[in-house]
Structure 1
Amino acid sequence: MLLKAIISVLLFSSVTSAQAQTARPFKGAWYADGLYVDIDFYGKSISDPNSMDGDPCAGIIRIKPDDTSMAYTIENLKMSGNRATATAYFAEKDSKLSFEYMADGSLKMTSSDGFSYVDDELKKLPQNSYVLHRASPFNGEWKLAKGDGTLRINLYYKSMYEENAEGGSEMCYGTIYVAYGNGMKVDNSLIRARKIEGNKAVIEYVGGRDGNTYRAVLVYNPSTRQITVKSPVSVGASGGVKESFVVDGMVFTRR
Structure 2
Amino acid sequence: MFYWFLKWIAIGPLLRVVFRPQTEGADNVPAEGPAILASNHLSYADWLFMPLTLPRRVTFVAKAEYFTTPGIKGWFQKKFFAGSGQVPIDRSGASAAEGALSAAKRILGEGELFGIYPEGTRSHDGKLYRGKTGVARLALETGVPVIPVAVLGTDVVAPPGKKFGTFTRPGVRFGKPLDFSRYEGLENDRYILRSITDEIMYEIMRLSGQEYVDMYATRAKEESKRLEREAKAAKDGSDEASAEPEDGKLAS
Question: What range describes the TM-score normalised by the shorter chain of this pair?
Answer: under 0.3
* TM-score with structure 1 setting the length: 0.25
Greater share of strand residues, 1 or 2?
A: 1
* TM-score with structure 2 setting the length: 0.25
Greater share of helix residues, 1 or 2?
A: 2
Higher relative contact order (CA 8 A, sep 6+): 2
